[in-house]
Structure 1
């Protein structure tokens, strides 16, 4: 039974990563009309509302929140407010290729945090090999796909890189934090609360810093907002469900996130007229495939 559960968790992780890989296009469209923090805030508030109808045992929502409100509020602050504030500001300061590489290193940061803060999830030689192969794959895919003409300013670049490194570090703590509360809070309720409350926090912060942008925009804005709200609700619900399963190790499941830049590159080749496969990107995909293959083989061998 455990083998089937682990297979199901891996499939859910793949679906979540494929959903996340479609976010970049939607974000680029949305921030053309709305400042980043306000756009992210609206997006996550809608995501939380989308999840609400699917929460089981709605009569227990209030009592569950009362019992765990400190933990849930901390998670909303870390997962939504801090994470996306750092992410949007960091991406705005450095070239997109550099941003993609740093964010692509996320699984390494998650594994390191898990190693130091979770006794049952230590780093091993096989995990290091998978991480290194995955990072090499991300670098090749990014440089084979992106064409950046952004002017690089030394100080701003340093600030942007630091913000994105903090984003990855924060993501590691969030994953360990969710894992530590296994089976105590229904994952859909946890996701809904995190999305909605965090979205409110982002929106309020955005209005305070950026000024209110209004709500009257052309149709593409609302299409992108609708898709981003759906994918956030679906992907984070799947991810929180996975992390609360006892058979899942945080460091191993996060290696599937190396799929995100690969899937994003393929989507851009299919959808965008001026995008096409390059030799570097294909080499990068081979490294990513090797990383995930090594992870699965080593996991089966250890068990």
Structure 2
């Protein structure tokens, strides 16, 4: 199985697919907030909704893994301790910041701010892995990718303001997500990627629900048929994206794989423009796609010398 997740075209395809799935979360959550009539300043409701979403996502993966290969679910006490810490950071903290921050910024603002997670991951990988250092190709990739995100939002009503519980929370979500990426690669030795995903989502979500449900006010969320299916979709996208992402992350360099996350905010901007009336699609988004593509190609370009070396082997 590890050979499958080391094949370049498979890795690229999965990385792009995961990034588009995560991009779809921006409009889905913004629409869900309106559909479920959740107040923008209701932090507890956001925590409970996130907990419900990720608990369902975690259970989908754990049940599926149990049916296919239940031995993969077994972990040691030491590994369970890691999974608990991982769940608190990757699911609990990251999505506490993400859900509450996104409620106070536009879908496109959220997209550009969360893209900072790619920078954090590449920087952390530089210090953690000797074979994943920062270089000129990654520098070009980061510059082109971030330029693409800025261009995607340039034609929108992007306000250069800063509020800690809005923009600040989105940046903190990006930082905790980057820390989680390094944890997943560095510490999850001997744990199946699907087991990592299922356990950390379930543990993190359970803690969010334990904290949030007792404080949830009556009528804070009103489920409609559309709201219910948006909730189900958001859980399924999390289950699929995280499980596949951790699978390719286990066998590839964190810095290079994370570059594909620049697709997430661009796809988020495109999908926000399609599904949120107040946000429109224009030529800037098309230009942004080109810049993101340049960034990804720059990072993954091996050059003639590398190609000759591979052929000579």
Give the TM-score normalised by structure 1: 0.86
> Are positions 1:294 and 2:298 aligned together?
yes
Change in Cα spacing, 1:115 to 1:151, as seen in structure 2 (3 Å) is: closer
Q: Which runs of 5+ in 1 are unaligned?
A: none
Of 155, 173, 181, the match for 1:175: 181
> Are positions 1:69 and 2:73 aligned together?
no
Of 107, 119, 123, the match for 2:118: 107
Change in Cα spacing, 1:151 to 1:250, as seen in structure 2 (3 Å) is: closer
| Cα distance in 2 between the residues matched to 1:104 and 1:141 | 12
Question: 2:70 — aligned with what?
Answer: 58
Of 163, 186, 199, the match for 2:205: 199
SS of the equivalent of 1:64 reads: coil
User: How big is the shift at 1:118?
Assistant: 2.5
| Cα distance in 2 between the residues matched to 1:300 and 1:240 | 31
Q: Which runs of 5+ in 2 are unaligned?
A: 39-44, 308-313
User: After the TM superposition, which of the residue ranges 41-50 and 117-126 deviates more from structure 2?
Assistant: 117-126
User: How big is the shift at 1:158?
Assistant: 4.0
CA RMSD of superposed structures (Å) = 2.8
Q: Is the 8 A contact 2:114 2:265 kept in 1?
A: no
User: How big is the shift at 1:180?
Assistant: 1.3
| Cα distance in 2 between the residues matched to 1:3 and 1:210 | 42
> Are positions 1:39 and 2:43 aligned together?
no
Q: Is the 8 A contact 1:110 1:254 kept in 2?
A: yes
Aligned residues: 295
Of 27, 30, 36, the match for 1:28: 30
Change in Cα spacing, 1:45 to 1:60, as seen in structure 2 (3 Å) is: same
User: How big is the shift at 1:7?
Assistant: 2.5
Question: 1:123 — aligned with what?
Answer: 134
| Cα distance in 2 between the residues matched to 1:94 and 1:270 | 18
SS of the equivalent of 2:133 reads: coil
User: After the TM superposition, which of the residue ranges 158-167 and 176-185 deviates more from structure 2?
Assistant: 158-167
| Cα distance in 2 between the residues matched to 1:202 and 1:4 | 35
| Cα distance in 2 between the residues matched to 1:214 and 1:165 | 26
Change in Cα spacing, 1:139 to 1:60, as seen in structure 2 (3 Å) is: closer
User: How big is the shift at 1:161?
Assistant: 3.2
Q: Is the 8 A contact 2:5 2:11 kept in 1?
A: no
Q: Is the 8 A contact 2:108 2:269 kept in 1?
A: no
> Are positions 1:137 and 2:148 aligned together?
yes
> Are positions 1:49 and 2:55 aligned together?
no
